């Protein structure tokens, strides 16, 4: 009887300690990078934006989910300098674009993942300016990095400035609705 209880205790300990191999892995924010690129009729602009929180959820090395928080006040432009750079950055933070004073953070939470190994199809809830929409993209996972490229339709998040979807006759002043995010996460 004593051996039965010891076996039961050992089995309980083993199952509690090892059956749940789902692990949230924190993203190394200082080694990770989120770059953006926006397009207009007459060209494009690019820059970076900082994450304040990030974690990937892995089960036995397989991607299962993740959560991320972006500091919208950190948005910067890397292809301009001087007064032009400051003017664009301030405009992106204004009510015309991302309303950073009212909405200082954007968030993303992965809601479904399919695939194994190093390549995954992902669906996530993205929240910008208080508007949440589902986005689809791919993630490539290596031993200590994750890579993703997202195409985001800003009009779905009430970012309307210069959009042909909301305004007519913009001609060469139009700004395309889609912008790119290139993400490299270190963990």
Lookup: tokens for 183: 């993400």
Name the pLDDT band for 20 (thresholds 50, 70, 90): low
Question: How high is the pLDDT of residue 174?
Answer: 85
pLDDT tens-digit readout, 161-183 = 888 777 676 677 789 999 999 99
Say if residue 4's pLDDT is above 70: no
Question: How high is the pLDDT of residue 46?
Answer: 98
pLDDT tens-digit readout, 37-52 = 999 999 999 999 999 9
Tell the CATH superfamily of the 21-186 domain. Answer: Lipid/polyisoprenoid-binding, YceI-like (2.40.128.110)
Question: How high is the pLDDT of residue 7?
Answer: 44
CA distances from 85 to 9, 46, 180 (A): 64, 11, 19
Question: How high is the pLDDT of residue 169?
Answer: 63
Share of the chain above pLDDT 90, in %: 78
Distance, in Å, from the CA atom of 20 to the CA atom of 150, rounded to the nearest integer, reads 31
Say if residue 133's pLDDT is above 50: yes
Does residue 131 or residue 19 have the better pLDDT?
131
Distance, in Å, from the CA atom of 180 to the CA atom of 185, rounded to the nearest integer, reads 16
**Partners of 185 in the beta sheet?**
146
User: What mean pLDDT comes out for the span 85-109?
Assistant: 97
In the chain, where are the structural domains located? 21-186
Question: How high is the pLDDT of residue 48?
Answer: 98
Distance, in Å, from the CA atom of 111 to the CA atom of 121, rounded to the nearest integer, reads 11
Question: How high is the pLDDT of residue 2?
Answer: 47
Distance, in Å, from the CA atom of 49 to the CA atom of 180, rounded to the nearest integer, reads 12
Say if residue 92's pLDDT is above 50: yes
């Amino acid at each position: 009887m004593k051996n039965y209880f010891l076996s039961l205790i050992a089995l309980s300990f083993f199952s509690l300690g090892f059956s749940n191999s789902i692990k949230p892995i924190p993203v190394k924010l200082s080694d990770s990078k989120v770059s953006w690129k926006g397009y207009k009729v007459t060209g494009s602009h690019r820059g970076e934006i900082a994450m304040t929180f990030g974690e990937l959820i892995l089960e036995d090395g397989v991607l299962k989910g993740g959560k991320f928080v972006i500091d919208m006040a950190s948005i910067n432009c890397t292809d301009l300098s001087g007064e032009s750079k400051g003017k664009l950055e301030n405009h992106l933070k204004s009510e015309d674009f991302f309303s950073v004073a009212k909405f200082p953070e954007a968030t993303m939470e992965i809601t479904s993942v399919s695939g194994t190994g190093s390549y995954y199809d992902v669906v996530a809830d993205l929240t910008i300016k208080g508007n949440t929409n589902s986005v689809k993209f791919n993630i490539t996972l290596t031993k200590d990095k994750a890579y993703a490229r997202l195409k985001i339709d800003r009009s779905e998040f009430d970012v309307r400035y210069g959009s042909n979807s909301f305004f007519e006759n913009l001609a060469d002043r139009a700004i395309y609705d889609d912008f790119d995010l290139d993400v490299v996460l270190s963990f």
